[in-house]
């Protein structure tokens, strides 16, 4: 096989640079319990982990079905101008998550320091850097501003830029085009199965830095060569160096 040098790092945002996935799970829990008070927070968070990495709409659809929220949501469709029951859950969740996005101190407290240090390491070593997220651009900008990372990326792509979300590789390929690079010249840093599947589908190298919300899925399923799955973030830079040295 021909060796291809990595020239760019593409970072996911939620669950990678900052643990907003946990904050999103809690916002869905608060919203779901408005519709079904008998649900526990843990029940909703456990269901969320099955779908982590999906778009907001897909998450709301899946949680509405999984948690049996259709009847209660249907009763409130007129209140939210919703055409489908899942849109009620999405609207309620957005209301709760807006409070999170409006609290920079809370967001800063959810940083993943090892992944952010890797971002700064990549920049110091003159790798190009990009962000590839299934969040909406307005949410991305608010989180990056809170973290002080707004100027760290040459390219930022969001769910607003693509027709097909992860695990489709469309967004990763879009970032490569905007960087003017071949996909094989990009190393993606992800936390979720859909993100890893998207990167692999794009023909990119990928490292999964797991979180408590995604670790079980990587252990239970053959999603990626275990060499490139990082459960202990203290090992991240060593794994990155190994990946940079490996041929593709």
User: Exposed, middle or buried: residue 220 (CB in 10 Å: 0-12, 13-18, 19+)?
Assistant: exposed
Q: Which residues constitute the domain of residue 191?
A: 8-19+111-245
Say yes or no: 14 and 27 in one domain.
no
Say yes or no: 99 and 154 in one domain.
no
- Taking the C-alpha atoms of residue 157 and residue 28, their distance in angstroms, rounded to an integer, is 24
SS (H, E, C) 28-69: HHHHHHHHCCCCCHHHHHHHHHHHCCCCHHHHHHHHHHHCCC
Say yes or no: 130 and 240 in one domain.
yes
Q: Please give the tally of structural domains in the chain.
A: 2
pLDDT for the residue numbered 246? 87
Say yes or no: 197 and 185 in one domain.
yes
pLDDT for the residue numbered 52? 87
Say yes or no: 127 and 225 in one domain.
yes
Neighbours of 125 (CB within 10 A): 9
| Residue at which a domain ends, from 61, 81, 105 | 105
pLDDT for the residue numbered 1? 44
Say yes or no: 182 and 139 in one domain.
yes
Residue 192: its H or E element: none
Per-residue pLDDT in tens (0 to 9) along the chain, 248 residues = 456 799 999 999 999 999 988 899 999 999 999 999 999 999 999 999 989 888 889 999 999 999 999 999 999 999 999 999 999 999 999 999 998 889 999 999 999 999 999 999 999 999 999 999 999 999 999 999 999 999 999 999 999 999 999 999 999 999 999 999 999 999 999 999 999 999 999 999 999 999 988 999 999 999 999 999 999 999 999 999 999 998 54
Evaluated on CA atoms 61, 209, 12, 169, the torsion sign reads: negative
Say yes or no: 37 and 160 in one domain.
no
Q: Does any domain span residue 41? A: yes
Alpha helices in 38-152 (DSSP H): 41-51, 56-66, 70-74, 77-80, 85-101, 104-108, 113-124, 137-147
Say yes or no: 81 and 121 in one domain.
no
The predicted model scores a pTM of 0.85
Say yes or no: 81 and 25 in one domain.
yes
Say yes or no: 25 and 14 in one domain.
no
- Taking the C-alpha atoms of residue 140 and residue 218, their distance in angstroms, rounded to an integer, is 26
Q: Does any domain span residue 120? A: yes
pLDDT for the residue numbered 247? 53
In this structure, what CATH number is given to the domain that contains residue 189? 3.40.50.1000
Say yes or no: 216 and 101 in one domain.
no
- Taking the C-alpha atoms of residue 27 and residue 24, their distance in angstroms, rounded to an integer, is 5
Say yes or no: 62 and 126 in one domain.
no
């Amino acid at each position: 096989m021909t060796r291809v040098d990595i020239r760019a790092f593409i970072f996911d945002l939620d669950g990678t640079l900052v643990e907003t996935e946990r904050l999103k799970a809690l916002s869905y829990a608060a919203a779901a319990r408005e519709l079904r008070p008998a649900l526990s927070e843990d029940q909703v968070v456990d269901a969320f982990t099955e779908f982590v990495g999906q778009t907001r709409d897909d998450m709301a659809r899946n949680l509405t079905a999984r948690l049996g929220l259709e009847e209660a949501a249907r009763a409130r469709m007129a209140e939210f101008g919703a055409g489908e029951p899942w849109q009620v859950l999405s609207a309620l969740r957005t209301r709760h998550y807006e409070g999170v996005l409006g609290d920079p101190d809370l967001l800063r407290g959810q940083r993943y320091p090892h992944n952010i240090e890797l971002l700064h390491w990549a920049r110091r070593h003159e790798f190009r850097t990009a962000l590839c997220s299934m969040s909406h651009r307005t949410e991305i900008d608010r989180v990056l501003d809170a973290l002080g990372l707004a100027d760290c990326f040459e390219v930022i792509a969001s769910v607003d830029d693509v027709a097909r979300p992860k695990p489709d590789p469309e967004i990763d390929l879009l970032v490569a085009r905007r960087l003017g690079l071949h996909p094989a010249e990009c190393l993606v840093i992800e936390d979720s199965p859909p993100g890893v599947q998207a990167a692999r589908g794009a023909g990119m190298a990928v490292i999964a830095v797991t979180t408590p919300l995604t670790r079980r899925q990587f252990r239970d399923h053959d999603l990626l060569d275990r060499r490139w799955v990082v459960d202990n973030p203290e090992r991240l830079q060593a794994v990155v160096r190994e990946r940079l040295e490996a041929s593709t």
